[in-house]
Amino acid sequence: MSDKKISSSSTAEYFSKNLQQVGFSSPTKAVLTTLKEAVDNALDACEEHGLAPEIKVEIERLGPGSIKNSERIRVVVDDNGPGIEADDLTKVFGEYLASSKFGRGRCTRGQQGIGISAATTWAQLTCAQGAKVTSKTKAMRKAVSGMVEVDIKNNKGVIKNRETFEWDRPSGTRVEFVFDGRIQVNGEAGILNYLLGTSLVNPHLTLHYRLPEQEWQKSPRVTSTLPVIPEATEPHPHTMKLGEFIAHSHLFGKVKVSGWLKKGFSRISDQVMNEMAKEPKNGLAKGIFDKNVDQLADGDFTKLFTAIQNTELKPPSTTSVLSIGEDAMSKSIQRIGKVDFFSVVTRKPTICDFKPVQVEVAIARLEERASEGDSPVQVLRFANRVPLQFDKSACAIVQAITSVNWRAYGLGQPKDALPQGPYIFAVSVVSPFIKFKNASKETIDASDELVEEIRRTLMQAGQKLSRYIKAEDKANDLEEKIRYIEQFGPILVEGLARITSAKEDQKIRAREGLMKILGRDANEAKNQVSEANRKLEIQKSKDVTEEEVEE
């Protein structure tokens, strides 16, 4: 999006023609994307205002749809967030790029200011009605409701049937879309998986949901601590391409180049600029830093850009990332089903490709899936706490998982494939600048550095997990050994005695001897069980630090 500033009036037209690029490429995806955009916004808004989110999701079938293979669907997302000022409703739901959060460098779910307007457009195009919105902020005495539509020609929102009324809460937003789509409840790209993933990485969320022909379900929050959203960080210049660099300048316009560089990027200081100016190889025009940004010619940008790329800069700071945390994840993971055991790892924030990143992994074995011994594990992917459900194979997360040798940790794994068994692998990547493979934000770009960082996190989680598996294996082993001794001991001695026509007393002595020998084996196994359990207890009791795990 960034290499070209789209003029405001053509924006809506552009997106209405290219909705497939932003998640509306099939009826099934249309449902999921609409749901996702609304829930993301609700969560972002609550977090920003320090409110514990309580969200209600309702999905209904209304009848056959107008496009092929579709049904008329109603999606309602209702939150207890800060609400939206009455005058802003048309901007939020009916205007593209109005929020201009773009490039702010925060770990929020929303990044572009496109999401919810695209959902409105889709509803408008397929069912001729926009977003039915109700909202109230604390400051408003009454709630406002109305139907917001996108005026596609002018990229402006319009509100119809505007009403005000008393609402049952101090603040919140309720948005309803009726559109053509297709409901897929189960499977990797299913709605349930989305809801499951969302509750997993949002331990502070209380989620109510009702799917078609089903009862209301409630998944209460497992922590009341809200995530602290770190201050925004500016992009590191080494992460940019020339086009992005120039586009970035347009956001500033009439300021001095030095001001733009200092404010608009991280790690560029006066000292850095002095050095760049002095370096003859850079060939920078004299006084370029004192010019206004909009006075620069294309050639100036290129020189400036190259000069910056050739200058050594401090890596960006990692304080702008946000983590769910091992404690919260440990609690949250219990929400996805009955869990036998699990392991969670939160890595320290780090820098990959000059961008601050933090990776977290949770692996759990689910009790009710014990029969799925040789199907691949279920992978839940998250980018800035948003579940990713499509284009799995190219994703950095999946590549990292398949690159780990899970057999070493006691899991089955065919060559170059996902491990197998009744496990859920949840991998969350948080970064103010996540690089996606495409505009619909479904796959995290698999750069070597990022894959390696995810891989390390996975291996730590694998090590923790293997303690459980080992302890269980040893216990099974012991059980089997004891059973073997009881079963085969007498058979063996009887058989030998018959072939050799041995006497009764010989038989008794042999049986005793055999039990002694096998008993020694069993004792050995018993010791191994206690040892495995001891290690596991240590792991559980104290939070194992990285060093200890990487023994």
Partner 1 sequence: MGLRTGNRKGGKAQNLIPQLSIDLCKKLLSDLEKGKRPVLHATKCALDNAIYNHKVGYLTPGNKKVATELNVSSVKKMSRAVFMLEILLRNIETGAVNTKRELYYISKGEIKGTPMLKPLDFTDQPESDDTIDFICELLESYREDMNCYANDRGGQTYSQQLVVTETLPDGDIATIDLSMLGTSPFQPKNRPQNLRLTAKKKIDFALIVESEGTANTLVANGFTKRNNCILMGSQGVPSNAVRGWSKLIQDHLKIPLYFFGDLDAYTMQNIYRTLKAGSAASLIRNQDYSAPDVRFLGVLPEDIKKYDLFDYPVRENDAQEMRSLKKADDALKNDPFFHDKKNKGVADILRWLLKNKRRCEQQAFFSVNPKDPTMPEKIILDKIKRGDFV
Ligand X SMILES: Nc1ncnc2c1ncn2[C@@H]1O[C@H](COP(=O)(O)OP(=O)(O)OP(=O)(O)O)[C@@H](O)[C@H]1O
Question: Which residues contribute to the site for ligand X (CB under 6 A)?
Answer: 37, 40-42, 44-45, 79, 81-82, 84, 92, 99, 101, 110-117, 173
d(CA 57, CA 77): 5
489 binds, among Mg ion, partner 1, ligand X, none (CB under 5 to 8 A by kind): partner 1
Give the one residue of 218, 241, 263, 498 binding partner 1; rule: CB under 8 A: 498
Q: Which is nearer to partner 1, 427 or 493 (CB)?
A: 493
Q: What are the beta bridge partners of residue 362?
A: 344, 426
Exposure b/e, 292-310, CB count within 10 A at least 16 = b:
ebeebeeebbebbbebbee
Radius of gyration of the chain (CA): 29
Kindly state whether residue 115 participates in binding Mg ion, applying the rule CB under 5 A: yes
Q: Which is nearer to ligand X, 121 or 402 (CB)?
A: 121
79 binds, among Mg ion, ligand X, partner 1, none (CB under 5 to 8 A by kind): ligand X
Residue 548: Cβ within 10 Å count:
12
- Cβ-closest residue to ligand X? 110
**Alpha-helix residue ranges (DSSP H) falling in 49-144:** 89-94, 115-127
Amino acid at 65: G
Q: Which is nearer to Mg ion, 23 or 489 (CB)?
A: 23
101 binds, among partner 1, Mg ion, ligand X, none (CB under 5 to 8 A by kind): ligand X
Kindly state whether residue 381 participates in binding partner 1, applying the rule CB under 8 A: no
Helix (H) or strand (E) holding 346: strand 339-346
Pair 21, 29: CB distance under 8 Å: no
Kindly state whether residue 227 participates in binding Mg ion, applying the rule CB under 5 A: no
Give the one residue of 128, 220, 495, 531 binding partner 1; rule: CB under 8 A: 495
Give the one residue of 246, 328, 481, 532 binding partner 1; rule: CB under 8 A: 481
d(CA 27, CA 70): 6
d(CA 477, CA 525): 7
State the DSSP code for 280: G
Give the one residue of 496, 528, 533, 536 binding partner 1; rule: CB under 8 A: 496
Residue 473: Cβ within 10 Å count:
15
- Rounded least distance, CB 99 to Mg ion, Å: 8
Kindly state whether residue 522 participates in binding partner 1, applying the rule CB under 8 A: yes
421 binds, among Mg ion, ligand X, partner 1, none (CB under 5 to 8 A by kind): none
Kindly state whether residue 504 participates in binding partner 1, applying the rule CB under 8 A: no
Q: Which is nearer to partner 1, 68 or 516 (CB)?
A: 516
Give the one residue of 41, 184, 266, 460 binding Mg ion; rule: CB under 5 A: 41
Exposure b/e, 14-39, CB count within 10 A at least 16 = b:
ebbeebebbbbebbbbbbbbbbbbbb
Kindly state whether residue 439 participates in binding partner 1, applying the rule CB under 8 A: no
Kindly list the residues in this chain that would bind Mg ion in the complex (CB under 5 A). 40-41, 110, 115
